[in-house]
Copies of this chain bind each other. A is one copy, B any other.
Amino acid sequence: MQIKQVWDLTRFRPEKMQKVNLFQTPRMFCDIYCLEPGQEQRIHTHRGNDKIYHVLKGRGRFTVGEETHTLEAGETTWAPPGEPHGVLNHSGERLICLVFMAPHPQPDRFAPAGED
């Protein structure tokens, strides 16, 4: 049984936001995103994947489709497949999010050994 303590695993770097993986399978990943003030995940799109952002600490400007809203700790949003999405930490404090995606965007990395 694997147990991950989110607050022990957060990691911040001055050069860019950090993604810390907690769990991943071909069906999903669960990451922590750690953003210093001013850092962002640029707006991008996944063709066939759902993404959930849940703010654990701080606040940021989240974009899904053509809308952008500020989310704070305890707030959750969903980027459906094909919808551009991203996040900017526009605040003066660190931003920590729990992020879930399904299915995993790179399921091929889980190919069983011996298969091409």
Residues of A whose CB lies within 8 Å of any CB of B are 1-7, 22-23, 25, 27-28, 30, 49-50, 52, 54, 62, 64-65, 67, 69, 71, 74-78, 80, 98, 100, 102-103
- 7 smallest CB-CB distances across A and B, nearest first, come from A102-B102, A28-B102, A1-B67, A23-B78, A1-B64, A27-B102, A100-B100
Q: A1 to B52, Cβ gap below 8 A?
A: no
Complex: how many Å from CA A47 to CA B76? Answer: 28
Which residue of chain B has its CB nearest to the CB of A79? Answer: B1
Copies in the complex: 2
17 of the cross-chain contacts (CB-CB < 8 Å) are A1-B69, A2-B77, A2-B78, A3-B69, A3-B75, A3-B76, A4-B76, A5-B75, A6-B54, A6-B76, A23-B76, A25-B50, A27-B50, A27-B103, A30-B52, A100-B102, A102-B103
* From B4, B28, B54, contact of A98 by CB (8 A): B54
